[in-house]
A and B are shown apart, each in its own frame.
Chain A
Amino acid sequence: MRRALAPYFLILPGGLWLLLFFAVPMITMLSLSLQQGDVVSGYVFTFHWQTYVDAIANYRTQLVRSLVYGAVATLVLIVLAFPVAYWIAFYGGRRKPTYLFLLLLPFFVSFVLRTISWRQILTDEGMLLGPLKQIHLLPSAFHILGTPFAVICGLVYNFLPFMVLPIYVALERIDPRIVEAARDLYANPGTAFRKVVFPLALPGVFAGVLMTFVPVSADYVNSAVLGSSSTTMIGQVIQAQYLVNSDYPTASALSFVLMAVLLIGVFAYARALGTEDVMKVAAR
């Protein structure tokens, strides 16, 4: 009897945690999204689905923009992170831990602060653009801040380790003898990489995409600090609806829409590429 109950007791702390800090807020938010009213006279629950319709109609641009920024940033991340991870995994030698530590070092400073530093560096007449404008290499109205370029750069910068680490883990697990075997079977280095190393690293890439695409698409700091009103991302809209306009229903509805879109995207992606390999990587 006791043995039969043991698993349930084991799941109890985690289950309670989830219930309290995930289920309850979610239900509250779902409820909020269906309420009507204003902040002074209060919000009343009315099954007001129209909020969803209006929210999507008003903020579709920002939603699509966020997904596009998320996708672009994720692709750039893969391109940047793969060589770094590859180099550390295969050429890092006994300094591997040092390199990994260096990769994580910026994380010892709050990422908001680091993003604000970038703002100082990239500002219109700052240390980077100021001198170039003074010697007339750039027109005086040229700016990087406030453009999608600046926002995507910020996103890539802030999420780089989340892409490098999973790819590194996948590459690190590759038995060097497999690569040797490929060479013995007359594969040149390029073919060995293409047919052996890269496919084995794919689960890492997959995990990296999951760990970056979702938070990048929902990010609201980079666009707020480095962007302008023409780069507004959906996270900023949600934040502003809660913390500026006190429009809780719209904010909640948008949160659910974003969550649904991301979940569908992630499931479709997992379905297409398979989750088993990812599970294997995660289990290691």
Chain B
Amino acid sequence: MPNNIDPALFRGMTQRRLGRRDALRMGGVSAFAMALAACGVEGTGEPATSAAPDAVAKFWAGKASTKHVDFANWPLYMDPKQPELKKFTAETGITVKYQEVIQEMAPWFAKVQPQLKAGQSIGYDLMVITNGIQFKQFKDSGFLAPLDHAKLPNFAANAAAKYKNEAFDPGNQYSVPWTSGITGIAYDPAKVTRPITKLADLWDPAFKGKVGMFSDTQELGNFGMMVLGINPEKSTPDDWQKAAAKLKEQKSAGVLRNYYDQSYIDALGKGEVWITQAWSGDVFQKNASEGSNFKFVIPQEGGTLWTDNFTIPVTATSPVDAQTLIDFFYRVDIAASLAEYIQYVCPVPAAQAQIKVDAAKLSGDDKTSMEAVADSPLVFPVAGDYANLHYYREFTTVAEQQAYQKVFEPIVLG
């Protein structure tokens, strides 16, 4: 540009002048842009780290029993004959509709989030959700009702100390455990002829096309890290990238068959996978109900320990009865009866003695198998058993959690 010309004049001479039509057109564009901006999606609430002191009183004021509870849970989490719920109805007169509608956390959150955001009932008064990314999302969005511990005497009396101070929900403000479980490896010994001991077995080309992994980004990422000797709880973004590369390797080599939600257990049953990432109690229930002979192992590198929790959505129509039901599951006899069937980690230590009492009343194989439950480290782990287990990584910021998901989501989505 010649430097003796005033830049403003130069611009004025060379630039296209705006006519009336242009102005109108631009007006249209900006109106359109405003319309676009107006479609913004509102947030679901300020991240609440702890409930206000009067939150409990405020939530429960005016709430009354309706004598009915709609209960959303995962499959393989109760005897299909529902003996505990039948007993509950017989004793309290409160009916329970139990539905196994939760297969994986992320889709469950995505499914109920719009209704909860709009302040509508999701059709359930009680839901069992896993600690992890979505638990935090539920909590931070203000979707979980603060529990009234005055109404949970059995929990106070019977729950193990460990469950009264979980990192993801200090003081059990919004949740109390349904059960804990361990993520390990399940396999079919009829197809897998050598014993499975380590995570690297999930990468073994001998099982090409027959290995299953979880589609949940935390479950998947954890195993990707643990196979490399990284502790997921203390992992860094660099570790995530390494784990992602390791997981991609499993897939591109054709070793992996597919990523599964709870349906992995059917895939194992149908012979679609021979060896798969698995949740501890499922295999025992599958074996008990179908006479199969699948094995569950905690690999040498360790498994992960998680907790599935009772929570009451804020929009529940019958929160009072839901809370009564929660406390009912902390009665020693009920906790024992549930653990006997589902064989997940029982949050009520006194249930162990109860199961032994129950076993003494039986005879033969039933007696041996029930005694085995009472002594199982997968149901009543002793302190040493936890040494080899890892915990989920707690994300402190949303950005961190999103960064994590962006690393592992594309792997699951192929």
Taking beta carbons and an 8 Å cutoff, which residues of A are in contact with B? Answer: 27-28, 30-32, 34-35, 37-45, 47, 58-59, 61-62, 123-126, 140-141, 143, 145-146, 228-232, 236-237, 240, 242-248
Contact = CB atoms under 8 A, between A and B. Distances in A.
Interface of B: 32-33, 35-47, 104, 106-107, 109-111, 113, 137, 140-141, 191, 207-210, 215, 251, 254, 256-259, 270-272, 398, 402, 405, 409-410, 412-414
Contact of B409 (A47, A61, A245): A245
Nearest to B256: A229
A278 B398 CA distance: 52
A228 B257 contact: yes
A42 B46 CA distance: 10
A40 B40 contact: no
B37 A45 contact: yes
Contact of B272 (A27, A44, A145): A145
B110 A230 contact: no
Contact of B41 (A43, A124, A228): A43
A45 B257 contact: no
B47 A125 contact: no
Contact of A229 (B137, B270, B414): B414
Nearest to B266: A123
B119 to A, nearest CB: 16
A232 B36 CA distance: 31
A198 to B, nearest CB: 39
A59 B410 contact: yes
A248 B251 CA distance: 27
A44 B40 contact: yes
A30 B37 CA distance: 10
A138 to B, nearest CB: 13
B413 A59 contact: yes
B315 to A, nearest CB: 17
Contact of A231 (B32, B113, B140, B414): B414
A19 to B, nearest CB: 13
A21 to B, nearest CB: 16
Given A31-B37, A229-B413, A245-B106, A146 B43 contact: no
Given A40-B141, A125-B271, A27 B35 contact: yes
B135 to A, nearest CB: 12
B44 A146 contact: no
A41 B256 CA distance: 36
B272 A58 contact: no
Interface centre among A61, A230, A245 (most CB of B within 10 A): A245
B398 A45 contact: no
Contacts of B41: 32, 35, 37, 42-43, 248
Nearest to B40: A45
Contacts of A240: 409, 412-413
A44 to B, nearest CB: 6
Given A38-B402, A244-B106, A30 B251 contact: no
Contacts of A30: 36
A123 B269 CA distance: 11
Given A38-B402, A59-B410, A229 B258 contact: yes
A146 B39 CA distance: 39
Nearest to A238: B413
A149 to B, nearest CB: 13
B31 to A, nearest CB: 11
A54 to B, nearest CB: 8
Contact of B47 (A34, A41, A143): A41
A44 B113 CA distance: 18
A230 to B, nearest CB: 6
B251 A230 contact: yes
B398 A40 contact: yes
Nearest to B190: A140
B106 A41 contact: no
Nearest to B109: A246
A243 B215 CA distance: 14
A245 B272 contact: no
B36 to A, nearest CB: 4
The 5 closest A-B pairs by CB, nearest first: A42-B43, A232-B414, A31-B39, A31-B36, A45-B37
Contact of B413 (A40, A125, A232): A232
Interface centre among A230, A237, A243 (most CB of B within 10 A): A230
A38 B272 contact: no
B15 to A, nearest CB: 23
Contacts of A37: 41, 43
A124 B44 contact: no
Given A31-B36, A123-B272, A248-B41, 18 more contacts: A31-B38, A31-B40, A35-B40, A40-B43, A40-B45, A45-B40, A61-B414, A124-B270, A125-B270, A140-B191, A141-B210, A145-B272, A146-B209, A228-B414, A229-B256, A229-B414, A243-B107, A245-B405
A47 B43 CA distance: 18
B36 A34 contact: yes
B110 A246 contact: yes
Contact of A62 (B38, B113, B209, B413): B413
